[in-house]
Amino acid sequence: MRAFIALLAGTIFGAGLALSGMVDPARVRGFLDLFGTWDATLAFVMAGALLPMAIAWRVQSRLLHAVSGDNFALPSTRRIDAPLAVGALLFGIGWGIAGLCPGPAIANLALAPLAVLPFLAAMLAGMLLHRLWAAQR
C-alpha cells in the first residue's frame, strides 16, 4: 500500500516534470542563464509546486499520523552548518553545468535514456563517493 502511494506520487511528479518542460536541460539552463536569452519557466514551476505544498504543511501540523497510518518521518535537523552550505554550492555548480538535477535526470530515462545515462551514472558515483568520504571521517 505504501509503495503503491509512492509509485503514484512518483508518477505524478514525473508527469509534472515533463509537462512543465523541466525535463529539458536546455530549458533549465535557460533559467540559470541571466545574461543570455533568459527563460523564466522554472519560476512558474516553483510557484505551482509551492502552492499545494504550503497548504499541505498546514494540514500536516494538525495530523497525528499520515493517511496510511504511518508516523511522519520528516527532517528534524535544524543546524545551519558547513556541509549544508558546501553541499548546496557543489550541487548548484553541477546543476548549472549540465542543466540537470536528480528528478529530471531520472525522468529522462523514459525520454532520452542514452543521453542521460552518463549523467545518472556519474550522479550515483558522486553519491557513493560521498558515502565513502563520510565513512572515513
Partner 1 sequence: MSALFANAAPGMGFLGGLLIGIAGVVMLLGIGRIAGVSGLAAQATGITGSDSRAVALAFIIGLPVGAALVAMARPIAVTFPSSLAVLIVGGLLVGFGTRLGSGCTSGHGVCGLSRLSPRSMIATGLFMAAGFATVAVMRAFGWV
Minimum Å distance from CB 42 to partner 1?
Answer: 7
3-state secondary structure 12-38: HHHHHHHHHCCCCHHHHHHHHCCCCCC
By beta-carbon proximity to partner 1, the closer residue of 73 and 136 is 73
Stretch 101-130 residues interacting with partner 1 (CB under 8 A): 101-103, 105-112, 115-116, 118-130
- How far apart CA 65 and CA 61 sit, in angstroms, is 10
By beta-carbon proximity to partner 1, the closer residue of 24 and 136 is 24
Single residue of 98, 135, 136, 137 touching partner 1 by CB under 8 A: 98
Q: What share of the chain is helix, strand, coil (3-state, %, to 5)?
A: 70, 0, 30
3 lines the binding site for partner 1 (CB under 8 A): yes
Residues in CB range of 104: below 8 A, 6 or more apart: 17, 22, 23, 24, 25, 28
Stretch 10-29 residues interacting with partner 1 (CB under 8 A): 10-26, 29
Stretch 32-91 residues interacting with partner 1 (CB under 8 A): 32-57, 59-60, 63, 65-68, 70-75, 77-80, 83-91
- How far apart CA 118 and CA 127 sit, in angstroms, is 14
Q: Are 19 and 106 in contact (CB under 8 A)?
A: no
135 lines the binding site for partner 1 (CB under 8 A): no
By beta-carbon proximity to partner 1, the closer residue of 128 and 136 is 128
Minimum Å distance from CB 136 to partner 1?
Answer: 14
